[in-house]
Amino acid sequence: MHQTLLPRNDHASSTTSVHPASSSRLTAQAAFNVVSEPSSGKQLVALGIKNVKVRTRDLAQTINALFQPVWMMLVLVFLHLSAKQPSSHMAVKALPFLSVDTCKSTTDCTYFGYTGVPATDPMITELSGFFAVSEPNTVVPKFYTDEAAMRTAYDASPVNFVVGVVFTSPSAGLSVPSAANGSATDQYNYAILANHTAYVSHDYLTSRYATAQAYIERAAINLRRKANNKTPLSSPLPLKNDPGSADTGAGRTFISYANFVGLGTSINSSLNAFYVIFCFQAVWLGVLSILVVEKKNRIRSTMAMMGMTRDPYLISVWAMQNVQNLVTCALMIFILFVGRIFTNTNALIVWLLLILFSFNATAFGSIAAVFIPDPKKTNTASFLILIATVGSYGVCLALVFGSGGAVDPTKETLLFLIPSVALGRSINYITGVEAALGGVTFENISTGPCAKALWMMAADCVIFYFLAWYLDAVFPGEFGNPLPYDFFLRPSYWGLGEYRRVTDIAQQSATQSVETARHDPTHADMFESANVSHIPVEDREIIKVRGLRKAYSTGPGWAYNIPLWGLFFRIFYPPKSSRTTGAFSGVQKQEVVSGLDLDVHKNEIFGFLGHNGAGKTTSLSIIMGMVNPSAGSVIVNGHLLPGSDGVGRGDMDLRTLGEVQKQMGVCPQHDVLFDTLTAWETLRLYATIKGVKVLGRKTDAGSSSSNSSPDELLDEYLEHLLEDVYLKEKKNERVVTYSGGMKRKLSVAIALIGDPRILIMDEPTTGMDVFTRKQVWQLIQDSKAGRSTILTTHSMEEADALSDRIAILSHGQLQTMGSSLFLKNRFGLGYRLSLEKRRVMLADQKQQHPPQQEIQSTSVLGSHEGNVVLFDEARTTAIVQQHFSDATIDVNTTTDITYVLPTTGTAEQRNGRTAQEYIQDKKAALPGLFAQLDEEIAANRLGVKSVGLSLTTLEEVFVSLQEQEEAAKAAKEEAETSK
Ligand SMILES: Nc1ncnc2c1ncn2[C@@H]1O[C@H](COP(=O)(O)OP(=O)(O)OP(=O)(O)O)[C@@H](O)[C@H]1O
């Protein structure tokens, strides 16, 4: 008895096959009628929910983002509180009384001498009133006729003379000021002669200089107030009948009188403004990190490939950050007011200032994210934003606002286009007003810079968000398709006008057949001639790639040497290769895809194989519209992709990519999942992004039928999909708990959502165990109907089991393309003929061959489990070589022997026949060989128990092709070096 394994259906000839589903269960695709109708509004809501879930479940990140600015504000309160301790800060010394610890004499002392105004002058009357209510000892102002007389009195007994005041013209002889807002004659000009002899240090306070000044200034104010019928102020020093005030010094702090109260007790009010700007660092860093991480990890581009439009994405990130800002700023206001840093100002005004600045900070982060390619650089970028914001305010403060004089309103308005300047100036102003025991309210807001700052920061929001939105579209980074510079002026961007599909382009290459497009006719026999007659015309060339090229450029070396900018480039775009760092190294291009031509039809799985770095992922990224080609064209389902030859971006309908991506399902090489979401939530998210609508369950007749609501149907569908990938039990567990293989299964399920017409699977089964892998193969196989599938894999077994056609890519170029059988025949070792050796000698054989003879006539002889092995190798080999002259022995053991029956042959062997003709001739020899073997075995002449035939494996084909490529490369290099 013998068995013969012949290729099934002339196709899958390896021993691997995809078995029918374990039961008659249908896949989700087969069981449900599904359509995809993405909507920006629903995408926005879904992304918003996702953002909230991701953010709130990552508690560490939430606390950091929400409370960092609040915490910094709290530090400001601590500083403020510490500054209020009189003992610990020199700035909070109390004003000393004129009559305490001054004169030696208790009977003949001049606490306050004056000249220049008569004793009847209202100033003196006012001062006398203050002295009476505040000074612990009796203080009577003492008149001198002139300054000389006063100096003489001082010289007579300096230790008994405290302060002398010289009132000078024009105040001399004044009576009560007559005008409310008056002339120079309303003013008191005066000089204080403080006693530097009686006090060792020339201290402003201990010499009572400050005390005298405080009295005189307050008296002058009161005279003006009285003239205007306003209630006069009380004495600047505490009233002597106020219990306890003399001990604590309360109410007579020097610093309070000198306009440094409140926020500025110890810190200059400008510093407060700087500090408040500092607080917002977490805001721009937060949004910057999200955008850069999701860009780098391809989360965003993958969602885009599934049909997500860019506006909902950006808006959802901004909304998330700004809602968080509302909370953060409210907490900051709470701290500012409860900590009594601000007391009199309207809290809503400060909150509006903070919130508008935080909105702007979100926009800064978004703009920076456009230019930062790497999450590791976000801290550096954030620091640069800090330098820019704080620095711009610092420069303005130093050059414009620092002088304290009036600022030209137009200049101020223009400077407020920088949000940090608007905020800094406002905080500085509020601090000052608070210090004067006032505050900014809605009544007086127009007198300071706050109103203008609010308006300008609102305008800044419009400008900066527009910039962020625009730059993001025009410079999408490595994984994105840039929009034209004037994209927002085109109606098609806004979905207006009829959609224009660019298929009838006058583009030679795009209309060529794949054979014509192939440039090197000498290698024509490396490709199976495509017979597409059995495919309906509308199902052909669903994906059509012609002359595709992609070159990555290394950084321009010279750019690293531009002063300052060079440093920026080095930090954020470090050289990719050591060769580019030279001063004039220029741009170097590395072509990773070099002229790719291929077609993928409907209902077909197209295997895309190649060594590491061959260019598979790059090619797929171009087909998916994620990366622009350098040359060539890609047409997907009749849509010419942007970046293709012949049609400029300007001529393209800006909806094209969206239209294509709507029809795609993508399983990227690296899982793009959110760790904190569950499988169910992930599928729900992608279902909304794709706008999946389940019309109903398919009946036998193929039409929809269901009584369930749309939501229930969607849930049923997603549940079914999870069951398809064997994740149903795990559906409520977070992705972070999944194994590598489970994550891949979820990625496969995501790719299949919404019944996509184009399915792109980049190494879908990496990391899966054998059992799971077979299940996923089955799913891919079951899902191939009605769509075009491209599959890349490093598992030859997988490619062989699933692919209808296979292309092998090497160094960016197609080496070969055709069915698995074609490749095996064309490049494989040929057929493998395996014979199992008989181990029990038959009775008639024993007679024919005595033991000694037996030993000599067999090539492999031994004792195995008591049986004698008998096999006539010479006779068998002769028979095999009679039909396949170049057959060789590959494996020869005590139990089996395997012959290789080559089918390719050298040019000489082919003798004018094409490779395919030669293969056909070789295949024709098989029946003759088997007929003869059957006859010999039946007659017990060979010592053979059974025969098997298998075709070479795809793995052998792949290795053989790589070896050929390496050999050709080595030969070329040798030829070049020997020149
Ligand atoms: N952004 C990039 N800049 C420069 N070179 C790149 C970039 N992306 C890919 N390459 C290069 O392009 C080549 C092809 O990469 P690609 O990822 O397409 O290969 P692949 O065939 O998918 O490999 P693998 O099987 O390992 O996934 C590699 O040499 C890679 O270094």
DSSP string, 843-891: HHHHHHS-HHHHHHH-SS--EETTEEPB--HHHHHHHHHHH-TT-EEEE
Residues 889, 901: Cα–Cα separation, whole Å: 9
- What is residue 116's DSSP assignment? S
Mean pLDDT, to the nearest integer, of 443-461?
Answer: 92
pLDDT at 848 over 60: no
Structure tokens at 296: 């780098």
In the reported structure, the alpha carbon of residue 736 is separated from the centroid of ligand 1 by a whole-number distance in angstroms of: 27
Residue closest by Cα to atom 30 of ligand 1:
613
36 lines ligand 1 (CB under 6 A): no
User: Atom of ligand 1 at shortest distance to CA of 478?
Assistant: 1
In the reported structure, the alpha carbon of residue 784 is separated from the centroid of ligand 1 by a whole-number distance in angstroms of: 27
- Percentage of the chain beyond pLDDT 70 is 80
Tens of pLDDT along 271-302? 778 888 988 999 999 999 999 999 988 888 88
In the reported structure, the alpha carbon of residue 806 is separated from the centroid of ligand 1 by a whole-number distance in angstroms of: 20
Closest to 523 measured CA to CA, from 965, 871, 126: 965
- Percentage of the chain beyond pLDDT 90 is 28
Residue closest by Cα to atom 12 of ligand 1:
592
683 lines ligand 1 (CB under 6 A): no
State the helix-helix crossing angle for 378-396 and 565-572, rounded to 10 degrees: 150
pLDDT at 250 over 70: no
pLDDT band at 418 (very low <50, low <70, confident <90, very high): very high
Residues 454, 440: Cα–Cα separation, whole Å: 13
617 lines ligand 1 (CB under 6 A): yes
pLDDT band at 314 (very low <50, low <70, confident <90, very high): very high
CA distance readout (Å), 166 to 157, 191, 343, 518: 19, 5, 39, 105
Work out the burial of residue 40: count CB atoms within 10 Å of its CB; fewer than 13 is exposed, 13-18 middle, 19 or more buried.
Answer: middle
pLDDT at 552 over 90: no
> Would you state the pLDDT for residue 953?
78
Query: Which parts of 84-166 fold into alpha helices (H)?
Result: 122-134, 147-156
Mean pLDDT, to the nearest integer, of 115-134?
Answer: 90
589 lines ligand 1 (CB under 6 A): no
Mean pLDDT, to the nearest integer, of 886-904?
Answer: 86
- What ipTM was estimated for this complex? 0.97
CA 709 to centroid of chain Cα atoms: 37
pLDDT at 579 over 60: no
Choose which residue among 549, 587, 592 to substitute to test ligand 1 binding: the one with the highest number of ligand atoms within 8 A of its C-beta.
592
pLDDT band at 269 (very low <50, low <70, confident <90, very high): low
547 lines ligand 1 (CB under 6 A): no
Phi and psi at residue 727, to the nearest 5°: -120, 10
553 lines ligand 1 (CB under 6 A): no
Least confident piece of the model among 122-126, 942-946, 966-970: 966-970
In the reported structure, the alpha carbon of residue 615 is separated from the centroid of ligand 1 by a whole-number distance in angstroms of: 6
616 lines ligand 1 (CB under 6 A): yes
Closest to 695 measured CA to CA, from 36, 46, 45: 36
Mean pLDDT, to the nearest integer, of 634-644?
Answer: 87
978 lines ligand 1 (CB under 6 A): no
Tens of pLDDT along 662-686? 889 999 888 889 999 999 999 999 9
In the reported structure, the alpha carbon of residue 550 is separated from the centroid of ligand 1 by a whole-number distance in angstroms of: 10
Tens of pLDDT along 218-243? 898 888 888 888 888 888 887 776 65
The C-alpha angle 488, 489, 492, rounded to 5 degrees, equals: 80
> Would you state the pLDDT for residue 478?
79
User: Atom of ligand 1 at shortest distance to CA of 554?
Assistant: 4
pLDDT band at 56 (very low <50, low <70, confident <90, very high): confident
577 lines ligand 1 (CB under 6 A): no
Residue closest by Cα to atom 8 of ligand 1:
618
pLDDT band at 125 (very low <50, low <70, confident <90, very high): very high
pLDDT at 185 over 50: no
Least confident piece of the model among 32-46, 391-405, 497-511, 773-787: 497-511
User: Atom of ligand 1 at shortest distance to CA of 812?
Assistant: 14
555 lines ligand 1 (CB under 6 A): no
Whether omega before 710 lies within 30 degrees of 0, making that bond cis, reads: no
pLDDT at 499 over 90: no
Mean pLDDT, to the nearest integer, of 855-864?
Answer: 40
pTM of the model: 0.72
Work out the burial of residue 734: count CB atoms within 10 Å of its CB; fewer than 13 is exposed, 13-18 middle, 19 or more buried.
Answer: middle
In the reported structure, the alpha carbon of residue 593 is separated from the centroid of ligand 1 by a whole-number distance in angstroms of: 9
789 lines ligand 1 (CB under 6 A): no
Q: How many CB atoms lie within 10 A of CB 466?
A: 12
Residues 477, 946: Cα–Cα separation, whole Å: 62
pLDDT at 903 over 90: no
478 lines ligand 1 (CB under 6 A): yes
> Would you state the pLDDT for residue 91?
44
Least confident piece of the model among 85-94, 125-134, 440-449, 882-891: 85-94
Cα Dmax for the chain? 161
Question: For residues 274, 276, 277 and 278, what is the CA-based torsion angle, rounded to 10 degrees?
Answer: 90
Q: Which of 4-8, 63-67, 428-432, 897-901 has the highest mean pLDDT?
A: 897-901
890 lines ligand 1 (CB under 6 A): no
What residues are paired with 465 via a beta bridge? none
Mean pLDDT, to the nearest integer, of 326-344?
Answer: 88
Higher pLDDT, 178 or 335: 335
Higher pLDDT, 98 or 454: 454
CA 557 to centroid of chain Cα atoms: 26
Choose which residue among 587, 594, 617, 814 to substitute to test ligand 1 binding: the one with the highest number of ligand atoms within 8 A of its C-beta.
617
Residues 14, 955: Cα–Cα separation, whole Å: 10
What is the average pLDDT score of the chain? Answer: 80
596 lines ligand 1 (CB under 6 A): no
> Would you state the pLDDT for residue 65?
79
41's CB contacts (< 8 A; 6+ apart) are: 312
pLDDT at 210 over 50: yes
Least confident piece of the model among 73-82, 315-324, 356-365, 744-753: 73-82
793 lines ligand 1 (CB under 6 A): no
By the 8 A CB rule, do 57 and 64 touch? no
120 lines ligand 1 (CB under 6 A): no
Mean pLDDT, to the nearest integer, of 34-58?
Answer: 89
Residues 838, 4: Cα–Cα separation, whole Å: 17
In the reported structure, the alpha carbon of residue 638 is separated from the centroid of ligand 1 by a whole-number distance in angstroms of: 28
Mean pLDDT, to the nearest integer, of 625-648?
Answer: 84
Mean pLDDT, to the nearest integer, of 829-839?
Answer: 83
Closest to 883 measured CA to CA, from 941, 949, 823: 949
Choose which residue among 616, 623, 962 to substitute to test ligand 1 binding: the one with the highest number of ligand atoms within 8 A of its C-beta.
616
573 lines ligand 1 (CB under 6 A): no
Q: How many CB atoms lie within 10 A of CB 882?
A: 13
Residue closest by Cα to atom 25 of ligand 1:
612
In the reported structure, the alpha carbon of residue 828 is separated from the centroid of ligand 1 by a whole-number distance in angstroms of: 28
Residues 32, 27: Cα–Cα separation, whole Å: 9
pLDDT band at 583 (very low <50, low <70, confident <90, very high): very low
533 lines ligand 1 (CB under 6 A): no
User: Atom of ligand 1 at shortest distance to CA of 576?
Assistant: 4
CA distance readout (Å), 699 to 20, 696, 781: 21, 9, 22
592 lines ligand 1 (CB under 6 A): yes
614 lines ligand 1 (CB under 6 A): yes
The C-alpha angle 359, 360, 361, rounded to 5 degrees, equals: 90
Closest to 399 measured CA to CA, from 387, 412, 388: 412
> Would you state the pLDDT for residue 189?
84
In the reported structure, the alpha carbon of residue 616 is separated from the centroid of ligand 1 by a whole-number distance in angstroms of: 8
Q: Where are the beta strands (DSSP E) in 23-97?
A: 32-36
552 lines ligand 1 (CB under 6 A): yes
Residues 110, 963: Cα–Cα separation, whole Å: 112
pLDDT band at 865 (very low <50, low <70, confident <90, very high): very low
Residues 570, 557: Cα–Cα separation, whole Å: 10
Residues 786, 775: Cα–Cα separation, whole Å: 20
Mean pLDDT, to the nearest integer, of 608-625?
Answer: 90
Closest to 725 measured CA to CA, from 800, 775, 794, 690: 775
- Strand 589-600 relative to strand 543-553, pairing: antiparallel
Tens of pLDDT along 522-544? 566 677 777 777 787 888 888 99
Tens of pLDDT along 191-203? 888 876 666 555 6
Work out the burial of residue 506: count CB atoms within 10 Å of its CB; fewer than 13 is exposed, 13-18 middle, 19 or more buried.
Answer: exposed
618 lines ligand 1 (CB under 6 A): yes
Q: Which of 453-462, 571-580, 963-972 has the highest mean pLDDT?
A: 453-462
643 lines ligand 1 (CB under 6 A): no
> Would you state the pLDDT for residue 867?
45
pLDDT band at 395 (very low <50, low <70, confident <90, very high): very high
pLDDT at 96 over 90: no
Mean pLDDT, to the nearest integer, of 12-39?
Answer: 64
> Would you state the pLDDT for residue 404?
60
CA distance readout (Å), 241 to 137, 208, 215, 246, 495: 12, 21, 18, 9, 80
In the reported structure, the alpha carbon of residue 619 is separated from the centroid of ligand 1 by a whole-number distance in angstroms of: 9
Mean pLDDT, to the nearest integer, of 748-768?
Answer: 91
In the reported structure, the alpha carbon of residue 479 is separated from the centroid of ligand 1 by a whole-number distance in angstroms of: 13
